[in-house]
A = this chain, B = another copy of it.
Amino acid sequence: MTGPRYPSLIASLPETVPFVGPEVQERARGAEFDARLGANENVFGPSPRAIAALQAEAAEVWKYADPTNFDLRNALSAHIGCTPEHLIVGEGIDGLLGYLTRLLVEQGDAVVTSDGAYPTFNYHVTGFGGVLHKLPYRDDREDLIALLDKAAEVDAKLVYFANPDNPMGTWITGAQIEAALDRIPDGCVMILDEAYIEFAPDGTAPTIAFDDPRVIRFRTFSKGYGMAGARVGYGIANPSLIRAFDKIRNHFGMNRSAQAGALAALQDADWLAQTVQNVTEAKTEIGRIAEENGLTALPSATNFVAVDCGRDGDFARAVLANLIAQGVFVRMPFVAPQDRCIRISAGRPQDMAAFAAALPIALEAAQNPG
């Protein structure tokens, strides 16, 4: 009665999760958070039209979703200006990153990313046996030129670049990306993770030919459109790479209501504009709160703000722990020196008020432990 025989790669992997969810922390502390500002969610939520579409589709949930995501891909192609054949829709960017990694990375293949960038990408790469090469941030930004040069040096299959960045909220211009494209080495695909692009200033998204075989862009309904719990992300790439997903993806993996909700969300540009305005105001408020407490908020092109706590990672971790104990859920970068910061999502006035009330207490506690 011996049971499973795991391949050596699987046996070597930890039983892990890239992020501990806030519900897990709430159960541990025995109370819900007063403000949920840590998971890079969009507190302002989806368009009422999206909510209505989710609700209307609930009675149709006995049907599997259309595995081709036909309606959503058509609407997205019109929105973006590409063809539906340039688009893959999947179970969030997380799901698509997993598929892409499986498509390209074999055991021992090199992959390049920034040290402290998206842990879920690293989780997928490690899970398929890829070898991660991590480069430090430069001035709290992902260092695109260095990443691409490293990709050439190690003969990488994949290089990951998020613009705007998570967890720092920093960004470079689309023109800077365009100027760097020719550094992508032969046989390498650059992931351009634009999860937060709807919050970024005009000119942040580069112009890249949709047929360019060197780049896949990922976007999502989780952030600007406020539908993280629906799991709808998409990729934009050369049709040949898009078709390759059909070799391995979970064709019937999409939630039917989520398809309908995303379609409705895409059609409510006014709501998105209002959300971006709400986020901008909240980010200003986070900056004000930081300054009031003698701290510095980093400029952000996302819906969150990295606040520099002015000392080292241990200090920021102490501030974070106290905020969480007070019921304000935030997270922070994992890697020095970015871990001098805590990361707070833009929230409603009541969320910002909870943060404003908790921060001075947390700073005081961190400065005078025990």
Contact = CB atoms under 8 A, between A and B. Distances in A.
A229 interface: yes
Contacts of A229: 57, 60-65, 255-257
Contacts of A14: 247
A248 B95 CA distance: 11
A1 interface: yes
Number of copies of chain A assembled together: 2
A369 interface: no
B250 A98 contact: yes
A68 B21 CA distance: 8
A58 B62 contact: no
Nearest to A245: B15
Contacts of A98: 250
A15 B54 contact: no
A249 to B, nearest CB: 9
Contact residues on A (Cβ < 8 Å of other chain), bracket:
35 or more
A291 interface: no
Mostly, the A contact residues are loop
Contact of A16 (B13, B214, B247): B247
Contacts of A57: 229
A304 to B, nearest CB: 14
A3 B36 contact: no
A104 B5 CA distance: 7
Contacts of A50: 61
A86 to B, nearest CB: 14
A62 B91 contact: no
B91 A228 contact: no
A157 interface: yes
Contacts of A91: 91, 250, 253
Interface in A1-24: 1-7, 10, 13-19, 21, 23-24
A51 interface: yes
B104 A17 contact: no
A251 B59 contact: no
Contacts of A24: 66-68, 70
A224 B14 CA distance: 35
A58 B52 CA distance: 8
A36 B61 contact: no
A187 interface: yes
A360 interface: no
Given A41-B63, A51-B58, 12 more contacts: A1-B213, A5-B187, A10-B103, A17-B67, A17-B246, A21-B67, A23-B66, A24-B68, A43-B62, A50-B61, A58-B261, A91-B250
Give me the 8 closest cross-chain CB pairs, A-B, nearest first. A3-B213, A229-B256, A54-B58, A23-B66, A13-B247, A45-B62, A255-B255, A15-B246
